[in-house]
Each structure stands twice: as C-alpha cells, then as structure tokens.
Amino acid sequence: MNEHRTEPFAAVDVIRAKRDGGTLTDEQIDWVIGAYTRGAVAEEQMSALAMAIFLRGMTAVETARWTGAMIDSGERLALKVSRPTVDKHSTGGVGDKITLPLAPLVATCGAAVPQLSGRGLGHTGGTLDKLESIPGWRAELSTGEITRQLDEIGAVVCAATEGLAPADRKLYALRDVTATVESIPLIASSIMSKKIAEGAGGLVLDVKTGSGAFMKTPEQARELAHALVEIGSAHGVATTALLTDMGTPLGSAVGNAVEVAESVEVLKGGGPRDVVELTVALAREMLALAGLSDVDPAEVLASGLAYETWCRMISAQGGDPDAALPAPKHIHVVEADRAGIVSTMDAYAVGVAAWRLGAGRARRGDAVQYAAGIRCLAKPGDRVAAGQPVLELHTDTPEKVPAALAALEGGIVVSEKDSTSRKIVLDTIRG
C-alpha cells in the first residue's frame, strides 16, 4: 500500500519566492533540502530553484541555513580523538599537491587532520588520484578506521563516507548540468556542508585565484572566502581563509605520481620554494586554530620529521611508501622557442595539457593514468637558452601529445625582461 505524506510547502511557492527576490525562511530551506533528498521535490523543480538562487543570490543567513540543512541530510563524523582536530580545504588548482605534505606536517606538530578528499575533474587534479598512484594505497575507509588512524598517527587522507551531506552530492550533480555551478552561495554551502559534517574543530580554506583556479579574479575569490568564513562562524567552527595565487602552477610537478614524488621531496626538507611556502603558511593557520601556535611548522618541515608521519599514514592505508611510483611510457620535451626569461607559465594551459595527457578525467568515473603529467623544468623568472627544455610531457599514450601541445599554445612565454613578481598568499580572512 502506498504511503502518502502531506508536505508543509509546495515547491512552486518556494521557487516563486526566490525568483521574485524574496528571502527564504528557515522552514522553507529545511523542507526543500529534505524533500529534494528524499525525492519529494522533482529534479526540474530543484533546477528552477537553483537557477533562481543563481540569479537572485542568498543572504548570509539563508546560506548558513542552507548549509545546515545539507549537513542534516546525512550523518556527522563523531571524531573522538585525543588531539585537537583541524581540517583544510582547497578550491582546486594546477599542481596543487599541498594536502600531501600538509596533513602529515600538521599531525607531526600535534594536531589531528581528518582530510576527506575527492578525485579530479577537468584541468584540476584530485588528491585521491595522486595518492592512488602509490602501490597498494586505498582511499575507502570506515568511520572507525578514520578515527583510529587519527588517534594513532594524527593524519588521514581518504574518500568521504557516503553518509556525509547526501543532499550536496545530489544537488552538485544537478548544478553541473543546469549551468548553476558558478553561484557563490551554492559553492560555499557545498564546500562547507561536507567540511562541517567531517566534525573538525577548526577549518582553514585555501581559496585560489588566477587562470588555473575556479575563481579567476581576486574579487571573486575574496567574495567566496568571506562567504565560507561566515558559514563556518555561523556553525561554530573556527574558520580562516587564505587567498592564494593560481596564475602559475604550484611547484614543478603537475599530474599524479609526479606530484607524489615532489611532495615526498618537500617532506624530506627540500622541494620547490612555492610549495614549501604555501604548506607552511597553511600549517601555521591550522595550528593556530588548534591552539598549537607555539610549534614552528617551518622548522618541523625542514627537519624531515613529517616524512616519518607520511610513511606511517601511507602504510596504515595499505600503501608502500618505499615502492617505485608509476613511470610514463613516453616523454615529450617542450623547448624554449627563444633565449630570454620565462615571463608566463599559464596554470590553466598547463592544467589542460596534463589532463589531455591522461592525468585527469572528462567525466566522473573515467580512469586516469597515474604516470601522466607534466614536469616544469623552468618557471617564471628563470633564464633559458633557445632550445632549452622547459617542460616534460609524461603519458602512456603518445597519441595524446598533439592535443596537449595545442593546449599549451601561447601559455608559455619567454621575454627579454624579467617582469615576474609572484606572491603566493595574497590575503588572509579570519572569522
């Protein structure tokens, strides 16, 4: 026998209220998210509401309530560990391997880092894709395994459990096919619903801006950062956001296995300057939120102690930290077309090229090549000779190289003068 349920609202009335520029009530928001999650609000109705929000926006109060309703659509992790917990989220970029050295570094400094991550789509890489290039490493952990690893090691990087914010997972897929992704309230609530549901006591956000970022301009990135921090504060989670540059790839490696190798260099006390700088900057903010400001993450990183934590973290998830990483079957070298100074290395161009080489995916569920990617042999500010290697393109399928080269067209510029002046951290926004 079918069971009928009387709904307190009609979806069309909620859509009309937002379409006409009104403010949704707490009760309307709670109902529409819950009803959509259980199928009582149809996909076309939620599509219309998402477009109304895209065009009309939401107030800070609405956005915080929308986030809370998405959190309440599923479970919250109960992280009962002996250390203070603090998490980090990046809005995504090219060569953005920062989670890999950051999580073990902050754990070595005394905090617990529950880093629930995702896979890449398009030109931005995914943390899980990178780590899955390590033989034996597994992303799927139970809540019990996550808690135990946090208590014993202090850091875990894994896939989000299915029960976290199911409303967000359903709504994100809808936004992806209805041209409503680029909405600050919907982006902010999507990020924060998952992060708050993870249960960490503090959260640091790396909001990127530039050609390789989702937010292309500093103004857009700053608006998103403020929205994220406001949501965190409204939900009682100490939150800080850093605005960081993504006009140039981070570090020298872009891809999967190549980024793991570079992260290990950083954890052993070396690695590219920009990766080290951003890792330490984020670590300082995370430790401050965890009440551990007396520890200097720069000293800990330089000492190599965080590498020991990395090895334990990888081993705990079935990986072999000493195993050889996948090597590409084909390497194509891109040379400088003239002598001079590298003035531009466009992050988006490099990211798309790495994606076309096989490092990323066009659709969710597509396979990636773990050995695919790009090594930047020169970066902006470096002097090069004509014919000097500037990039190495790594792939298992050499027929993909022409498409990657097409993506790089105009993205690497060598000039007569050095006009580069790169600042990694552009601004800090605290709750």
Rg, Å, the chain Cα set? 22
Strands (DSSP E) contained in 118-255 are 155-159, 202-209, 238-245, 253-255
> Of 119, 130, 169, 175, which is the active-site residue?
175
Q: What is the Cα–Cα distance from 312 to 328, expressed in whole angstroms?
A: 27
SS3 421: coil
CB neighbours of residue 176 within 10 Å: 12
Q: What is the Cα–Cα distance from 160 to 333, expressed in whole angstroms?
A: 37
> Of 83, 89, 130, 222, which is the active-site residue?
89
Q: Is 294 a catalytic residue?
A: no
Residue 291's alpha-carbon distances to 18, 282, 363, in angstroms, are 41, 14, 41
What are phi and psi for residue 259, nearest 5 degrees?
Answer: -75, -35
SS3 239: strand
Longest distance between any two alpha carbons in the chain, whole Å: 78
Q: Is 119 a catalytic residue?
A: no
- Among 62, 355, 6, 88, smallest CA distance to 186 is for 62
Task: Indicate the DSSP class of residue 321.
Answer: T
Q: Is 168 a catalytic residue?
A: yes
What are phi and psi for residue 281, nearest 5 degrees?
Answer: -60, -45
Task: Indicate the DSSP class of residue 358.
Answer: I
In a 13 Å sphere around the CA of 88, the CA atoms on its Cβ side amount to: 36
> Of 133, 190, 252, 263, which is the active-site residue?
190
Q: Is 394 a catalytic residue?
A: no
Task: Indicate the DSSP class of residue 154.
Answer: S
Task: Indicate the DSSP class of residue 355.
Answer: I
Burial 377-411 (b: 16+ CB within 10 A, else e): bbbbebebeeeeebbbbbbbeeebbeebeebbeeb
| 2: exposed, middle or buried (Cβ count in 10 Å: 0-12, 13-18, 19+) | exposed
Residue pair 266/275 in contact (Cβ under 8 Å)? The answer is: yes
> Of 168, 206, 245, 274, which is the active-site residue?
168
Contacts of 143 (CB under 8 A, 6+ apart): 77, 78, 161
> Of 194, 208, 332, 356, which is the active-site residue?
194
Q: Is 194 a catalytic residue?
A: yes
- Among 248, 252, 243, 181, smallest CA distance to 209 is for 243
Residues known to be catalytic = 89, 168, 175, 190, 194
